[in-house]
Structure 1
Amino acid sequence: MALTAIIEEHGGSDKLKLVDLEVGEPGPGEIRIAHKACGLNFIDIYQRSGLYPMELPHALGMEAAGVIEAVGEGVTHLRPGDRAAYAAMPPGAYTEARVMPAAQLCPLPEAISFDEGAAMMLQGMTVEYLFHRTTPLKAGDTVLFHAAAGGVGLIACQWAKSEGIHLIGTAGSDEKCQLALDHGAEHCINYSTEDFTARVKELTDGKGVDVVMDSVGKDTFMGSLDCLKPLGMMISFGNATGPVDAFNLGILAQKGSIKVTRPTLFAHTADPATCQEMARHLFDKVASGAVKIRIDQRFPLAEVAKAHDALEARKTTGSTILEL
């Protein structure tokens, strides 16, 4: 049996429920993993609330790290006793142990702790695809990155610096802006006291940025379009303030033939070889010291509702993990 956080209906954090579930044995293409720590991400809130509906009841959680206990037929890249980490479908990481498909589990190097592994996979591989798989980026390009003091943001600040990309961040307080600056952002705009669009234009001498990376959603989307250079790329990869409203595609032409995309991590990692390649790239960045994983909040699994409340209220910085 494994203590597991599930929901039986969509709604607020009060819908999270702790139960003991049978773990079982892995079938073909599956593994059984004993978790050491689990990650917490906004997608978990989207699934809990019903923004991303799921068949219920269902366990939550998209990433974790731990030790492989058993492997099913056909699994060749992992063996019992191996350290592993993942960000993968289906949800179910908020648990002491689980059986799950093996393809997206990645061998975790000894140089990276279980806590780091649990905190970095979804956020770190998101940064990997944003910078390397969505639109061409090169040294000298300028990126506007919203929520730069969050878990994804702090990794992005360091990633950009390591590759010579100029990153302008936004955050909701002076303290969060300083955190982003400390992690490699060249500028950070406090959007609670400044008009981020006007400030971006000022910082870029009126030219705008090459790319906007926006996980905030509804509240920042239209302003972000005005931050782009002609032919620039808007990457909308999250909905922290709600889904983006419908808009006339003609606006993109009016603003300089700009482009918009709405990618997801799991479209990139669906191919097992690509998933492993992305993970290795992330592990190399962390092992080299170019990217440090900052874990600012830790909650026991039994306090998962408190963890959701803190993340949803935007009271967190860096990454948050659930300890087991």
Structure 2
Amino acid sequence: MVDKVIRINNLRKYFKVLKRREGFWGTVKDLFSSDYFYVKAVDGISMEISEGEIVGFLGPNGAGKSTTIKIMTGVLEPDSGEIYINGVIPYKDRIRNAKNIGVVFGQRTQLWWSLPLIESFKILKEIYEIDEKTFKENLELFEEIIGIETLYKKPIRQMSLGQRVLCDILASFLHNPKVVFLDEPTIGLDILIKDKVRKLIKELNKMKKTTILLATHDMNDVEALCPRIIVIDKGKIIYDRLLEDLKERFKAYRKAKIRVGDDVDELKLVNLRSLLLGNFNDVISDCEIKTSFLNISFKKQEINLLEILKFINNFVPVEDIHTEDIQTEEVIKLIYEESRK
């Protein structure tokens, strides 16, 4: 039986927030105010992740992803619920937990800004008490996968953003952690560097069987790396299954990009959108307005596109149309909308 490296049961974390007033005197009154409200950042989350899995952790801004990761890393203590990371309760044994995990938060480096890369690696070797044999083996592995030896003598401050991200990911794997948390690791990177980052993550996971939780808004990262996804919204898990199951569930949908006349004003399109969603509520899941375009997601097995086009043509002229299969990003959006309904 494969070990459950991450085990979370009914985890909750609330934040106490002051109701602030406007203006100078409002700020003064706030100093003596006891008018608070509570925000449910994490609201009863439960999940289990096995050894060697790469799991996409998805959700809109403010959904609770970063708070959950901070609880997993021991930075925050939950208000209630159970959490074990490789058998350790993170907030009760932060030092032991830190030795078992690696973390990369976006563009925040854990390396020493003015030191050459190899010196940062040597400092991490001492911090994590890595033996000489393991240290050398890991450096040889990094050299084999991505040719990192060319950057050993280069100070971190002289590296490009892409080089720093690659080095930070390698640093998070240096001490052979059981779990690595990656929070938006490819944000701001160009396509070529993103491909290198994905290759690096995939190879390290394969060779070391490291469990990886990837929090990202980039659906290309998810499709390239994550067989399983967990979708969170408003502090609750709304989807936890294989990515292929998600695609299968929504394969009946298709997307139509409909171009209307350039002289059609936006207010008319807004009214048309309301009419479409009202008349085809059961078969149209989304209708987005962009200049001179209507982007419609619809169930292709339950309605003929021609019927939708005839309806639109009663109000505005249709000049062009393009159809395509719905993309993963739109599928995730549908999951959010279904949950909120």
TM-score (norm 1): 0.23
| Structure having the higher Rg | 2
> Going by fraction, where is helix more abundant, 1 or 2?
2
